[in-house]
Copies of this chain bind each other. A is one copy, B any other.
Amino acid sequence: MPAGEGKRHDGRAVAVSARIGVWLIGARGNVATTAMIGAHAIAREATATDGMVTERAPLTDLDLPAVESLVFGGHDIQAGSVVETAERLHERNGVPDRDTLDAVRDDLATIDDRIVTGTARNCGRTVAEIADDAAFDDETLSIREIVERIRADYAAFREDESLDRVVVVNVASSEPMPTDPDQYDSIAAIEAALDADDPLPASALYAYAAIDDGHPFVNFTPNAANALGGIQDLAERENVPHMGRDGKTGETLLKSALAPMFAGRNLRVLSWEGHNILGNRDGEVLEDDANKAGKLQSKGGVLDEILDDDIHNRVRIDYTPALGDWKTAWDDIRFQGFLDTQMKLQFTWEGSDSALAAPLVLDLVRLLAHADAQDEGGLQPHLASFFKDPLGVDEHDLSRQFERLSEYVDRHTNAATTEVETENSP
């Protein structure tokens, strides 16, 4: 199959005239860059759409904004550029390959002009070290002032690019968790914290600014952001669609597919050891135990929810530079079956981390834009399958999470059909 002819749908969506802005927090990072490369490569028919959930049936029946209609911009705190990140991804990992990179290099350069300095406030020591983009003086500003600045950046993007809608996506580095996140469980608590220059992490500031201004928001990271109760209340009040957290792309994806098998067969899981090695910047940041804590937390829930056994469940994440952006997860699962027999499953998963994550970013943008267009504010439980720790959703069984997505599609396509039928009926 020639590149670009993949499983593309019939072009109907392309007709949608809306221009959708995608504002990426961490825009010069690997996931952000890979998402932008992919969107433009698809638009230029230089690649297929494998890996995009919104490009498989029945989601292709939804009236989603076209990938071609997406306009990118964003915040980052390290110097450099999307083009540089793209070159490095090509050199070190072979993804994208050279032809694809050549096809979109100019598009990326254009995006680079729309990336502005963000804030690294309360993101921990390791992130502070990489924050060499000097223009934004974090030290002197109050967090209220930082929020105003972020708000202005969102607005300028919308205005400058004549966008119909801006979806904000957090794909920045993992931050340390705030101490006692429950203290921020109301809108009032959040406002008070902002007033008091409390050590709210950057992710919460980006999320607050987005939701307060009505921009749909996706938290693809394990960061606090919209996981805080007060931000969720704000989204309810403002009727802004949002979802998170932490994209489910590797080991946790497999856990959510495999654990239901053990549960359904009444096989008692005794231990589930996961060892992840990865060699990219994300791996480097996760070397810092403070930053790793949130990641381990968001990875932890799956097994507990699906298996009611009291299992020994450990996840290791180690930085191995030779792997570049590739991640290898090795999992060892021991379980007890009939006649108290101990048995095991071991798996090795090897993927390009960003190639797994990036299409989901595009999917989420399209689906949040859809929800926003339908005035469906608040958390989006039908998007649970995309996240390690789906906010507001207890269901971790992957197939059942997919069911919810299908049901959402059914609801919207049947409604459409019904309406059409109604309209056409005499």
Chain A positions within 8 Å of B, measured between CB atoms, are 3, 7, 34, 37-38, 41, 47-53, 55-56, 94-98, 100, 253-254, 257-258, 260-261, 263-268, 270-271, 273, 275, 277, 312, 314, 316, 318, 320-323, 328, 330, 332, 334, 336-352, 355-356, 358-359, 385, 397-400, 402
A312-B321, A314-B318 are contacts. A264–B356 as well, Cβ < 8 Å? no
- Would you call A339 and B53 a contact (CB within 8 A)? no
A334-B322, A340-B47 are contacts. A261–B271 as well, Cβ < 8 Å? no
A261 to B152 alpha-carbon distance, docked (Å): 40
A316-B318, A398-B260 are contacts. A350–B355 as well, Cβ < 8 Å? no
A352-B341, A399-B400 are contacts. A266–B51 as well, Cβ < 8 Å? yes
- Would you call B260 and A258 a contact (CB within 8 A)? no
A50 to B263 alpha-carbon distance, docked (Å): 10
- One of B96, B261, B263 near A253 (C-beta < 8 A): B261
A37 to B56 alpha-carbon distance, docked (Å): 41
- Would you call B51 and A337 a contact (CB within 8 A)? yes
Copies of this chain, whole number: 4
A153 to B215 alpha-carbon distance, docked (Å): 74
Closest approach, in angstroms, between the C-beta of A398 and any C-beta of chain B? 6
- Would you call A337 and B320 a contact (CB within 8 A)? no
Q: Which residues of B contact A264 (CB under 8 A)?
A: 53, 56, 385, 398-399, 402
Q: Which residues of B contact A358 (CB under 8 A)?
A: 338-339
A351 to B351 alpha-carbon distance, docked (Å): 17
- Would you call A266 and B320 a contact (CB within 8 A)? no
Q: Apart from A96-B339, A312-B321, what are 15 other A-B pairs with CB-CB below 8 Å? A: A50-B266, A50-B340, A52-B266, A271-B323, A312-B320, A314-B318, A320-B332, A322-B334, A337-B351, A338-B359, A343-B351, A344-B349, A345-B347, A346-B348, A397-B399
- Would you call A341 and B355 a contact (CB within 8 A)? yes
A50 to B340 alpha-carbon distance, docked (Å): 7
- Would you call A51 and B265 a contact (CB within 8 A)? yes
A52 to B253 alpha-carbon distance, docked (Å): 26
A37 to B351 alpha-carbon distance, docked (Å): 29
Q: Which residues of B contact A265 (CB under 8 A)?
A: 51, 53, 253
Q: Which residues of B contact A355 (CB under 8 A)?
A: 337-339, 341, 343
